[in-house]
Amino acid sequence: MEKRKASYLKIADFIIKLLPAPGFSLILEGGYEPFLFPRENQAADIIVEAFPGFPKSSSVEPEPIYTAILDGQKLWQINNQNGNYQFIIYDQESLGKIQQIALVDQQFKHWKIYMLPIKGDGLQVGLCPLLYPMGPLIMYYLTVKNEAVLVHASGIKDNVGKGRIFSGFSGVGKSTMAKLWNDKGAKIINDDRLIIRKFGEDFYLYNTPMFYADKPKKTKLDAVYLPFHHLENNINKISGTKALSGLMAFCIQHGYKRSHLEQHLNFLNGLCNKIPVYELGFVPDESIIEFIKSNES
């Protein structure tokens, strides 16, 4: 039997082992390639196996437990199948066409992903198990079993090493804020999606693979901001339930399982008790940088 060649990704210090079926190469979207690394005897947090074609239908009808829908079109569906999970990912360019099917254990540690083979570079036929949106889904499920969250936010490390995130949905100024800080010498960790993890008493923010290539980045988290555009710069430090609910609103969550919600609530409660959280109205120009530095407690 032909031996399968494993590849490893390191994302937010999580190790993902990738195993394509015998005779097939592994194909990754470009944003993942900088996250490839030699394992160096570290155990994998999850294993992702890739197979050609789709599994035969089970004699037991899957029970739908969560469906993601955008503008009336299914993005993906999660089913309960014999006590485990079945993920059905739909091709967004062909209405109703299945892109991938994943069979996943209860702990979200072993993913068997089925798909149609595609041609990679040259003539080699390969499998792309992390094809969007499967990759971000796997990242999300890493957070529900660990002290971590996946959040809509931009993150920066300033020129004295202080890490800040600016969390919110599209249009609140996350990317604008990241660029303003970058123009003043700060490093952008990412301007859209971050993983926050806890190690010991400290919290760290990480970038994740995007549609473009960027090297892995990490920094300690020192402050959280919930920005919005305003006629003048103003800042309001918040705490307790207001801080918790304010940040949780921008964390990615599916919400169909109580234990996952409790995991994220407990994590964010600890974060908000440790890290200062601010509401931030701002004018989108360089004045906001010194305003923030001068008004942080």
Question: Over the stretch 197-222, which tens digit does the pLDDT of each residue have?
Answer: 999 999 999 999 999 999 999 999 99
- CA–CA separation, 227 and 90 (whole Å): 34
Residue 4's pLDDT band, with cuts at 50, 70 and 90, is confident
Q: Is the pLDDT of residue 40 over 90?
A: no
Q: How far apart are CA 179 and CA 176, in angstroms?
A: 5
pLDDT, average across residues 183-196: 97
Q: How far apart are CA 186 and CA 292, in angstroms?
A: 14
Higher pLDDT among residues 1 and 270, named by residue: 270
Q: Is the pLDDT of residue 183 over 60?
A: yes
- Joined tokens for residue 70: 């955008």
| pTM score, whole prediction | 0.94
Give the pLDDT band of residue 58 (cuts 50, 70, 90): low
Pairing of strands 46-52, 110-115: parallel
- In DSSP notation, 98-142 reads EEEEEEE-TTS-EEEEEE--EE-STT-EEE-TTTTTHHHHHHHHH
Mean per-residue pLDDT of the chain: 93
What the block records as the tokens of 18 is 């990738």
Tokens 């029970």 appear where? 63
103 contacts 84 by C-beta, under 8 angstroms: yes
- Rounded distance between C-alpha atoms, residue 255 and residue 263, angstroms: 11
Is the pLDDT higher at 242 or at 81?
A: 242
Please, what are the domains in the chain?
7-143 (no CATH), 148-295 (3.90.228.20)
> Does the structure show a pLDDT above 80 at 260?
yes
Identify the band that residue 1 occupies on the pLDDT scale cut at 50, 70 and 90: very low
Average of per-residue pLDDT across 159-181: 94
Residue with tokens 């004045």: 287
Please report the pLDDT score of residue 121 as a whole number.
65
More confident residue, 234 or 56: 234
Residues 44, 21: Cα–Cα separation, whole Å? 18
The predicted-structure confidence for 87-127, as pLDDT tens digits, reads as follows 999 998 887 899 999 999 999 999 999 999 987 666 568 99
Confidence (pLDDT) at 170: 86
Tally of CA atoms within 13 A in the half-sphere of 282 that contains its CB: 26
User: What was the pLDDT predicted at 75?
Assistant: 93
